[in-house]
Amino acid sequence: MDLEQQALTTTSPGSLSWRLSSHPITLLTFLGFRISSLLVYLFGMLFTDSLVMIFIITILLLAADFYYLKNIAGRRLVGLRWWNEVDPATGDSHWVFESSEPGTKVVNATDSRFFWLAIYAQPMLWVLLAVVALLSLKFIWLPLVVIALVLTITNSLAFSRCDKFSQASNLAGSALGSGNLAGSIASNMVGRFFR
């Protein structure tokens, strides 16, 4: 048995090793987007003196991270997705949360740990960078940090609510017998409270 196979057999499910992921490419792309925007912000001045170029690249990476997390990584890694709908008649907007049906998707413990750790760690890092920009009186960086905070906190809040919706739907469905009409009605009623 070589070292790589031995390392895989000694690690427990849920440990932070990307090799235990059910979707390693999705996980690495998700982590790549999450980390790259921070790295460009922190170390961009080493490669270029243009603040505008660093601003643009960081914004593009944050937008790609927002889209990828919301539409691809959340669904593949933890079975959650969200979006915002606007009622054309009234103009009211509400969030819609989607989770995989209970029993149809088994969420890998490693994927889940990486997902939730990254989703909560990045906004905290951006808050720290905002404090550093304020204390060092580099106000030119604040618009970029505010945009980063808005995008990352929006995804964090939406996925947190989506996870609560998923747990509430699963609880309501199992309480009234999953797989039957009553369970579906209960899941839909609980889902409406979170819209």
pLDDT > 80? residue 19: no
pLDDT in tens, 64-85: 999 999 999 998 888 888 888 8
Mean predicted confidence (pLDDT) in 2-26: 63
Mean predicted confidence (pLDDT) in 155-167: 81
Dihedral sign, CA of 9, 11, 14, 18? negative
Tokens of 77: 């890694």
The pLDDT, as a whole number, for residue 12 is 59
Greatest Cα pair distance, the chain, in angstroms, is 65
Q: How confident is the model at residue 62 (pLDDT cuts 50, 70, 90)?
A: very high
12: left (phi over 0), alpha (psi -120 to 50) or beta: beta
For the chain, the first-to-last Cα distance in angstroms comes to 52
The structure's pTM equals: 0.73
Give CA angle at 114 (111, 117), nearest 5°: 140
The pLDDT, as a whole number, for residue 11 is 56
Q: Which residue has the higher pLDDT, 186 or 57?
A: 57
Which residues, including other chains, have CB under 8 Å from residue 21's CB and lie 6 or more apart?
Answer: 27, 108, 110, 111, 114
Highest mean pLDDT among 39-48, 120-129, 158-167: 120-129
Which residue's entry shows tokens 């995989």? 100
